[in-house]
Amino acid sequence: KVEGIETGTGQGVFVGNVNIGTTLSGSTYQMKDNTRGGMYTTNMNNGTSGNGTLFTKSTDTWGNGQVSNKESAAVDAHYGVAATWDFYKNTFGRNGIRNDGVGAYSRVHYDTGYVNAFWDDSCFCMTYGDGQGDTHPLTEIDVAGHEMSHGVTAATANLNYSGESGGLNEATSDIMGTMVEFYANLPSDTPDYLIGELININGDGTPLRYMDKPSKDGQSADSWYSGVGNLDVHYSSGIANHFFYLLAEGSGAKVINGVSYNSPTVNNITVTGIGRDKAAAIWYRALTTYMTSTTDYAAARTATLSAATDLYGAGSTEYNQVATAWAGVNVGS
Ligand code: ASN
Ligand code: ZN
Ligand code: CA
């Protein structure tokens, strides 16, 4: 054991009871994890500028699951960074967001009534609002994974955040954020293909986005059409989210962890799922090897086919289902 490196216990708003990486400095515990690139979590105390104040205390027990305890959302954020770090490291051998061993820090309790979370490359940090009214803090694990994956995209393909490349940038974050949720596999936040399902972002219990049938949110595209690049990037992302769901799980009706999905395709094309792990490996390799800042949907198709060839061989089942899943969302050759 390295001097100062501790394992604390926390109870987050969403993560439930978890262990978190902390640091003992003198007689004070800090919410700082030196086993994962020195990532730490700060309290913005409703402010909007500066780095915030590092969470510290005299015991190594943090939060109580209640929003009113300011440490609870911090436990979610801290755990989310750790889970994202572990996911990328153990799945792809990626050592941090920039693959340089440096951990990102998180700022919670940003502003008042702030209903969003965001990644910022300039501070190499993540920021979470507390939500407003019936909307909970934005610290759910798929959102954490989503935001940090914007950092991974910026460090790799660097997809421009507008037009079709912007939709692919957003989809990469939804795909990898969802993979982080599956990786963490929390009993209090069972993994699914919904984004932000516990936050109550719409006030009626519905999630922010649906990967099996993106149009369920009323705005997102299920399949490609000319002009889809004019949509907000959080809606043009639907095509790639839908592609990923189809590739991983297949078309038609399915129940996963008690959630029912029904993923229709154009022309009723049948897609046979190859599983999440292979689908994620293909997407990650495409992102880090073939996609560039100007990749559009047609080029994303080519990139994932190249990735599938590298990983599983040309003409493999995996390669063929990549092509079929793209056809299922109207992205053709
Ligand atoms: N939460 C949003 C996102 O990650 C923030 C933004 O609009 N960039 O997409
Ligand atoms: Zn995003
Ligand atoms: Ca989710």
Q: What is the model's pLDDT at position 1?
A: 56
Residue 179 lies in a domain: yes
Q: What is the model's pLDDT at position 15?
A: 98
Q: Do residues 144 and 137 lie in contact, with contact meaning Cβ atoms separated by under 8 Å?
A: no
Q: Which residues pair with 209 in a beta bridge?
A: 195
Angle at 18 between CA 21 and CA 209, to 5 degrees: 105
The CATH number for 101's domain is 3.10.170.10
Residue 155 lies in a domain: no
Together in a domain, 189 and 132:
no
- Ligand index nearest the alpha carbon of residue 207: 3
Together in a domain, 195 and 321:
yes
Residue 158 lies in a domain: no
Residue 116 lies in a domain: yes
Tokens (6 digits) for 170: 């957003």
Residue positions annotated with a catalytic role: 147, 234
- In the chain, which residues have pLDDT < 70? 1-3
Residue 157 lies in a domain: no
Q: What is the model's pLDDT at position 174?
A: 98
Q: What is the model's pLDDT at position 163?
A: 98
Q: What is the model's pLDDT at position 301?
A: 98
The CATH number for 170's domain is 1.10.390.10
Q: Which residues pair with 64 in a beta bridge?
A: none
CB atoms within 5 A of ion ligand 2 belong to: 173
Angstrom distance (rounded) from CA 88 to CA 100:
12
Together in a domain, 285 and 170:
yes
Q: Read off the pTM.
A: 0.98
pLDDT in tens, 79-122: 999 999 999 999 999 999 999 999 999 999 999 999 999 999 99
Residue 99 lies in a domain: yes
Q: What is the model's pLDDT at position 2?
A: 63
Question: Which residues lie with the beta carbon below 6 Å from any ligand 1 atom?
Answer: 116-118, 146-147, 150, 170
**CB neighbourhood size of 50 (10 A):** 10
Q: What is the model's pLDDT at position 73?
A: 98
Together in a domain, 189 and 322:
yes
Tokens (6 digits) for 95: 């050592």
Question: How far apart are the CA of 296 and the centre of ligand 1, in A?
Answer: 20
Question: How far apart are the CA of 150 and the centre of ligand 2, in A?
Answer: 7
Residue 153 lies in a domain: no
Together in a domain, 134 and 208:
no
Angstrom distance (rounded) from CA 220 to CA 327:
18
Together in a domain, 220 and 106:
no
Together in a domain, 175 and 275:
yes
Structural domain range at position 209:
163-328
What is the number of the ligand 1 atom nearest to the C-alpha of 138? 1
Together in a domain, 234 and 317:
yes
State the total domains in the chain. Answer: 2
